[in-house]
């Protein structure tokens, strides 16, 4: 037995020595350069384009099996500005040999130095990566025969580990000759450490995009054995331009038939204005301090059939938006959301001068092109919006609450409630995008609204004060603002109390008839017309507003009137009929109509209304008044003559009595 053991050890030792000697001697007798043409040919056939190995090929066997290439070139097809599609300065890989016998893959390192790839598109739209991966001179052959076996269904490898994968000094060049775009990603550095199936992989990546730095670092994994058998954890931090930092922590679930992704996202505070500037885009805002701070955080979940954002919070300057969002059925999106905004001033973010341009119309924007609304018709929408304070067009709205819904291209807001200048507004709205042209309708009621500050803030018009209430119903259709105004229809009632019409004293104007009838140029309208109530009812037919009933109750004066206003041409054709009253009390039966009034015509444009008397009506009234006075005088004289004759007849029997009667008649105010 001892003799057998002795010889076994001797043979075993000799085998080890022989194997070691063989491993050590192989590099001495084997020249990898002899196989360079064959390797080039194999890679060229696989890539479908010419490949050159420009440097030396190195080979090592023990203790690490290694392979290296001193240089690599893959050519571009003809017709491209760059001659090379891919170049690599050097490539090196080292793998442990003995563990491979037991399906244990141990890689010491994989190193790629100075890779450069060019992605180019010609003016005709042809790309240099088209056809990559197949031979250019022969179509791929169909594979026949049985499918390869996995060796019994066990794990493909018992263990897997790579100490380090390094890519240094890489470059990606993007050229789009059709669009005239050229982008460069340079100084690409990638390092992966401790790569295995059962532990997280450390990742570090950095590059410069047209000179601007970007980076990504963190941990990914474990991958699992076999890969995908368990969730893939992610803990990554991305940075860009030294301005934007995003942290993502979550996992990708792949063990089930339906993969899913879950993560928390945290975007650190940054300046959107500075970020846009670094990207070559200039953003000008009315408030120079706007868009200086933004941040976001929330939880994201996604699957092939849905996506969800929960506990989201977006901060923009001084505004905070809390939001949740769910999107289901991507083939026909079902969007559900809930938005809660504390306060925002929209005017801060508008381009400088945009409000003045809109006011004067000096630089009108071109009409929008007809849009394809097919995607909106497929959208299902349901959500709630709450805004604590909204400033827009100079005005402020508070406590806004609305519910939005949409289906088959019909979108509704019902209800819409908000606080409006010490009053309230309740409304509903709908937009129908199912037809060739959009249709819309609005119904709004408001009560106890302070109309003076409202018009001053929103329209920059200081024309009326008072407390208002009203009911307005509008409907229209069209793609452009002009079409919307031209096809506007509806009706409404407005009531203003305890206010004033500013800029003109209508009462003084009506009373000063001599000045109104003068042909001399009148001074500018000034003053104000106080009123206890101003009530108006109107209808709108195809953009023309018809005021059917309008009444204004002022001290010593009442106005009633009507007329038309063309919204498309922005012109006025209104008439006011004043009525003088005999008492300051009068709002009803105690009012007394005067026999002489001065009707007013209101013409001109919305921006420059003209108020003037109606001369024809004035002349008719003067003529009627003169005829009435003449007729009254004649009737009075005829009555006096009749009374005088009757008295004289009664006194005929006595001349003395006649004399007394005559003396008495002389003392009466009728005269002779």
CA torsion, points 216, 217, 221, 223, in degrees to nearest 10?
50
What is the structure's pLDDT at 629?
A: 61
What is the structure's pLDDT at 402?
A: 96
C-alpha distance from residue 338 to each of 265, 321, 405, 411, 425 (Å) = 19, 10, 12, 16, 22
CA torsion, points 519, 522, 525, 527, in degrees to nearest 10?
-110
Neighbours of 29 (CB within 10 A): 7
Q: Are strands 410-420 and 439-450 parallel, antiparallel or unpaired?
A: unpaired
Q: Are strands 334-345 and 380-392 parallel, antiparallel or unpaired?
A: parallel
What is the structure's pLDDT at 8?
A: 47
Q: Which two tokens stand for residue 561?
A: 């009137």
- Nearest Cα to 190, choosing from 211, 210, 217? 217
- The C-alpha atoms of residue 647 and residue 639 are separated, in whole angstroms, by 12
Q: Classify 505 as helix, strand or coil.
A: coil
- The C-alpha atoms of residue 459 and residue 471 are separated, in whole angstroms, by 20
**Confidence bin at 15 (pLDDT 50/70/90):** very low
Position 578 pLDDT exceeds 60: yes
- The C-alpha atoms of residue 308 and residue 291 are separated, in whole angstroms, by 27
What is the structure's pLDDT at 646?
A: 63
Lowest mean pLDDT among 79-88, 373-382, 448-457: 373-382
C-alpha distance from residue 432 to each of 294, 372, 373, 438, 490 (Å) = 35, 14, 11, 6, 17
- Nearest Cα to 554, choosing from 594, 476, 500, 606? 500
- The C-alpha atoms of residue 428 and residue 404 are separated, in whole angstroms, by 10
**Confidence bin at 130 (pLDDT 50/70/90):** confident
pLDDT in tens, 165-222: 999 999 999 999 888 889 999 999 999 998 887 889 999 999 998 888 999 999 998 8
* pTM of the shown model: 0.73
- The C-alpha atoms of residue 253 and residue 352 are separated, in whole angstroms, by 49
What is the structure's pLDDT at 20?
A: 47
Position 662 pLDDT exceeds 80: no
Contact 244, 267 (CB under 8 A): yes
Position 566 pLDDT exceeds 70: yes
Q: Which two tokens stand for residue 523?
A: 């001074």
Instruction: Name the more confident of 662 and 85.
Output: 85
Mean pLDDT, residues 405-422 taken together = 94
What is the structure's pLDDT at 155?
A: 52
What is the structure's pLDDT at 581?
A: 66
Instruction: Name the more confident of 494 and 16.
Output: 494
First CA to last CA across the chain, in angstroms?
Answer: 180
Domain locations along the chain:
24-133+156-230, 249-340, 463-613, 628-667
Q: Are strands 159-176 and 201-209 parallel, antiparallel or unpaired?
A: unpaired
Mean pLDDT, residues 13-19 taken together = 45
**Confidence bin at 150 (pLDDT 50/70/90):** very low
Where helices occur in 487-525 by DSSP H, the ranges are 506-511, 513-517
226 — phi, psi (to 5°)? -75, 160
Position 666 pLDDT exceeds 80: no
DSSP codes of every residue in 352-399: TTHHHHHHHTSSPPPPPPPP--HHHHT-EEEEEEEEEEEEETTEEEEE
Position 595 pLDDT exceeds 70: no
């Amino acid at each position: 037995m001892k003799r057998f053991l002795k010889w076994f050890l001797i043979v075993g030792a000799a085998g080890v020595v022989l194997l070691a000697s063989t491993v050590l001697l192989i590099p001495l007798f084997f020249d990898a350069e002899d196989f360079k043409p064959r390797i080039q040919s194999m890679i060229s056939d696989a890539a479908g384009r010419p490949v050159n190995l420009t440097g030396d090929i190195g080979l090592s066997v023990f203790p690490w099996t290694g392979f290296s290439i001193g240089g690599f070139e893959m050519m571009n097809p003809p017709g491209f500005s760059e001659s090379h599609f891919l170049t690599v300065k050097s490539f090196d890989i080292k793998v442990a040999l003995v563990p491979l016998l037991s399906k244990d893959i141990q890689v010491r390192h994989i190193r790629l130095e100075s890779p450069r790839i060019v992605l180019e598109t010609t003016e005709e739209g042809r790309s240099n990566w088209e056809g990559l991966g197949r031979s250019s001179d022969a179509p791929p052959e169909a594979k026949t025969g049985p499918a390869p076996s996995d060796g019994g269904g066990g794990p493909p490898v018992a263990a897997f580990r790579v100490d380090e994968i390094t890519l240094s000094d890489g470059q990606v060049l993007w050229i789009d000759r059709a669009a005239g775009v050229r982008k460069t990603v340079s100084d690409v550095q990638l390092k992966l450490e401790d790569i295995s199936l059962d532990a997280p992989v450390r990742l570090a990546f950095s590059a410069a995009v047209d000179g601007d730095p970007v980076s990504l670092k963190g941990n990914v994994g474990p991958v699992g054995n076999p890969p995908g058998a368990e969730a893939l954890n992610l803990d990554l931090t991305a940075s860009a331009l030294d301005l934007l930092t995003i942290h993502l922590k979550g996992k990708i679930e792949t063990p089930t038939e339906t993969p899913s992704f879950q993560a928390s996202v945290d975007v650190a505070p940054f300046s959107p204005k500075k970020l846009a500037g670094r990207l070559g885009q200039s953003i000008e805002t009315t408030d120079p301090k706007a868009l200086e701070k933004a941040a976001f955080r929330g939880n994201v979940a996604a699957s092939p059939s849905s996506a969800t954002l929960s506990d989201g919070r977006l901060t923009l300057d001084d505004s905070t938006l809390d939001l949740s969002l769910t999107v289901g059925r991507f083939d026909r999106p079902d969007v559900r959301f809930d938005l809660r905004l504390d306060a925002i001033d929209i005017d801060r973010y508008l381009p400088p001068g945009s409000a003045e341009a809109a006011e004067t119309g000096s630089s009108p924007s071109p009409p929008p092109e007809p849009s394809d609304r097919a995607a909106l018709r497929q959208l299902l929408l349901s959500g709630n919006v709450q805004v604590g304070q909204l400033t827009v067009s100079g005005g402020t709205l508070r406590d806004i609450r609305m519910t939005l819904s949409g289906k088959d291209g019909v979108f509704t807001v019902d209800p819409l409630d908000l606080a409006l200048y010490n009053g309230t507004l309740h409304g509903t709205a709908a937009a129908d995008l199912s037809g060739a042209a959009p249709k819309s309708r609005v119904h709004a009621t408001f009560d106890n609204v302070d109309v003076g500050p409202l018009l001053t803030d929103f329209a920059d018009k200081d024309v009326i004060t008072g407390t208002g209430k009203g009911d307005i119903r509008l409907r229209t259709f069209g793609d452009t603002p002009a079409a919307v105004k031209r096809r506007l229809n509806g009706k409404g009632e407005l009531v203003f109390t305890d206010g004033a019409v500013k800029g003109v004293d209508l009462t003084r104007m009506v009373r000063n008839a001599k000045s109104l009838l003068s042909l001399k140029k009148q001074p500018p309208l000034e003053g104000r017309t106080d009123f206890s109530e101003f009530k108006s009812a109107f209808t709108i037919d195809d953009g023309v507003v018809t005021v059917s009933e309008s009444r204004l109750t002022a001290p010593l004066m009442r106005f009633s009137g009507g007329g038309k206003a063309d919204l498309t041409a922005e012109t006025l054709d209104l008439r006011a009929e004043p009525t003088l009253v005999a008492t300051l009390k009068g709002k009803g039966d105690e009012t007394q109509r005067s026999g002489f009034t001065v009707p007013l015509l209101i013409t001109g444009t919305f921006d420059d209304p003209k108020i003037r008397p109606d001369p024809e009506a004035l002349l008719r009234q003067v003529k009627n008044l003169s005829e009435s006075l003449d007729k009254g005088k004649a009737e009075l004289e005829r009555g006096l003559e009749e009374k005088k004759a009757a008295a004289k007849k009664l006194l005929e029997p006595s001349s003395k009595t006649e004399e007394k009667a005559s003396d008495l008649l002389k003392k009466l105010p009728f005269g002779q």
